[in-house]
Amino acid sequence: MVTATLRDGQSGLPTPRSTRSYWHRDPSYVLLGRRSTKDLPTTADVVVVGSGITGAFAARELVAGGRSVVMLEAREACWGATGRNGGHCQPMIYASKPHIARFELATYRFLEDIVTKFGVPCDWRRVGGVHALPTDELVELVAKRIARLNKRHPDLAGLATLFTDPEDLKRLRVPNAKGAVLQPYAAKCWPYKLVAWVLEALFTKEAPEVFNLQTSTPVTHLQRLDSGSWVVHTPRGQVVAREVFLATNAYTSHLLPKMTGLIVPVRGQVSALEPPDGGVALEHSHVWIARESDDYLIQRDDPLEMIVVGGERLSVPGGGEGVWSDDEIDEVVAKRLRRCLHSALKLRPEGEDEEEELRARWQWTGIMGYSVDGSPFVGSVPEELGGGDGLWVCAGYTGHGMPVAARCAVAVSRMMLGGGGGDGDDGVGSVDVPEEFLVSVERAERARGRELMKSSLEEFRLGMEELVQGGL
């Protein structure tokens, strides 16, 4: 086992014990505590590090392409950010550059098609997403942005509608907002079960020589041999592989110290709240900016109609930045999450007062990987960043992984298979990763030294201004 002193800002390994996510309350007993073989394989074509949505779809594509894959996971399968998020999948159509909006929309459709075609039991339901806007300035910017989108990009026209009439805002359950955007392409789902379905199929259908899952096996170090192969070190031994795929998101800098400061671990927090007595179930998912934080929720279709809400991290000093441990919750954030719906949404019938604080049945944390320039790092890792031929990465989703991660993983897998981002026969179609996502030394140099935004409201405003002024 190789150990090293962490650099300032470098991530550690996932903590052995973590807060219990709502999504893990019904775990896959095919995967829980399982390993394909008792002993760690000594060789593989590809080692995939990480078993969230990125690792799962990478392994699926690589196995389909004829590669043998060993998947190493520090904890249980899908026990990181994918198994701890807010249960959304929503492309940001109006708040992204058009080519990125198209990539996110294609990823959404790819996932929805898989769920529909194979009957994946992950509670996927398209519900549409409401984005509440708290200021007149933002309403004006968003109005300009959507008008330009509808005029210049017919394929995206009508996929984001702005409402400002008070009656419409009441109908959307955000009467206190200055305006609200409704996007029809927004789904709620059980993300852990989606990934578990992918991994279960590989685990049960493929021989261990083709797909080998090893849980509770953290990767501590990567070593490149003169032959060009890679040695992947773990406490249980080493695996030698021609190629390594890092699906490590927030923890990437632990294995690539030279990416410290480019992908920053950030702790987020989520709660599953009981709706108020007499509450009326929400029709849509919701995203809104509350003071300095961005909050988001879905309401489950379970018998209790649990409200899964996340956010509020910027309400505490540090905002979770640089934290890679998800073994505890922040009580200040927890209280704010229990109270954040009071002024943001109308949960009870018109004329009835809202409850100041809702009861939390589940409270948990998860570690996100924030990219300092706002885009994920996708592709081959250059030597200057600690990589070299055969080392690949998809990480740094900045809290927005569900609408991008799966197809980023497919795209890189196809690069590894020698097919670039071309067409496949699995329904994913052509995958052209946005140029902003690709890893390069030049991009790293431009991004290094930047700080993460400290205000969600300011970040959103600046982003909208850039889109409007840039004429995109």
pLDDT at 427: 47
Residue 286 included in any domain = no
pLDDT at 364: 98
**pLDDT tens, residue by residue, 206-251:** 999 999 999 999 999 999 999 999 999 999 999 999 999 999 999 9
Q: How does the average pLDDT of the chain come out, rounded?
A: 94
pLDDT one-digit tens code per residue, 58-111: 999 999 999 999 999 999 999 999 999 999 999 999 999 999 999 999 999 999
Residue 391 lies in a domain: yes
Count of domains in the chain? 1
Could you list the beta-strand ranges (E) of 124-278: 125-126, 129-133, 161-163, 179-183, 187-188, 211-214, 221-224, 230-234, 237-246, 263-273
Q: Which residue has the tokens 């942005």?
A: 145
Residue 424 has a pLDDT of 40
pLDDT exceeds 50 at position 425: no
Determine, yes or no, domain membership for 103: no
- pLDDT at residue 13 tops 60: yes
**Could you list the residue range(s) of the whole structural domain that residue 226 is in?**
22-84+192-264+373-454
Strand partners, 295: 288
Residue 266: is its pLDDT beyond 50? Answer: yes
Q: Does the structure show a pLDDT above 50 at 271?
A: yes
User: Is residue 446, in this structure, part of any structural domain at all?
Assistant: yes
Phi, psi for 266 (deg, rounded to 5):
-135, 125
In a domain, 419, yes or no: yes
| pLDDT band, very low/low/confident/very high, at 348 (cuts 50, 70, 90) | very high
pLDDT of residue 5: 77
Q: Are the CB atoms for 73 and 215 separated by under 8 Å?
A: yes
Q: Is residue 215 part of a domain?
A: yes
Amino acid code (one letter) for 71: M
pLDDT of 471 > 90? The answer is no
Residue 426 DSSP SS3: coil
Would you put residue 33 in left (φ > 0), alpha (ψ -120 to 50) or beta?
Answer: left
What is the mean predicted confidence (pLDDT) over 249-275?
A: 97
CATH at 74: 3.50.50.60
302 in a domain, yes or no?
Answer: no
Q: What is the pLDDT of residue 455?
A: 79
- Kindly state whether residue 37 falls inside one of the protein's structural domains: yes
